[in-house]
Structure 1
Amino acid sequence: MYDLSDLVVERQKLGNVTDIKIFRVLRFMPYSIIGDGANGILYKNGKDLGRNLGLNGASEAVKFMHENRIGELEILQEDPYHLRVDECLSCAGLPESGKPLCHFEGGLLAGIIESVSGRAVDFREVKCWGLGNGTCEFKEFVR
């Protein structure tokens, strides 16, 4: 469903990169249509993608996040996981909104960690530019 290796970008002059401002308009548009229900949809979509990337460890996750310009991932702790993402695609530089903004990235990381660890993982964002922080941090939600 999310096999990016076969994805062909047919843009000979413009390539496969777009301005982050345009990405953010598209990224936050669902909120104007369905409100905060977009959070769960973005998280689930990110998690589905992360599960299907076929990454084989933390170093591959760090590399994937960097090469795809999603953010600079650092694994602060394992079991339970605590991750930091600097220069986050969705929120870096945005003004404080009083709430976390990176539901897609949290889901993506949960899916990646699930596929690598072989166990169910979910994350809660505890730091975000939307919360007034200069970075994003995700802690594993232990049930």
Structure 2
Amino acid sequence: MKLMGAMPDLVVVHRDSDNVDPAARREEIHDGARRADVSSRVLPLIPVKMTEAWLLLDESAIRHVAGNPRGRMDLNLPKAHEVESRADPKKILSDCLVRAADATGRRRRTVEERFSNHRRQLLERLDPFGPVTQLSSWQALLHDIDETVKRWQEEQ
């Protein structure tokens, strides 16, 4: 905060739930902010498993980012109602990107090595009004944003 020269109005803290109750993670974030003497509003961002679970709902975006938008290979994506309960969404996403690229040899290795870049592109393409709205962690984020805005409005 010293680098900015002023206290920000809002600090968004990302912490994957990782099989811990999201309410416990939320309390962990707020406790940490109190201990760090953060006077800004703190907005917890808590995907139920990992952020990558949010990215597993858009097959078209995965195919596009993998460089094969017209591909036909079955990606074996989890259904919306199971995506937050699947183990290791990061690995599932990585595997889906490789399958979507439908590549072998050197190109396959390139796809595997570019996972971080592909994940970033998928996050940039995430439709905030699309399938992600079915997920409890996304709904909780929207609720937290709404509550933060309400408190700001009440203070003015």
Give the TM bin, normalised by the shorter chain: under 0.3
Which structure features the higher share of strand residues? 1
Q: Which has the larger radius of gyration?
A: 2
Scaled by the length of structure 2, what TM-score is found?
0.24
Which structure features the higher share of helix residues? 2
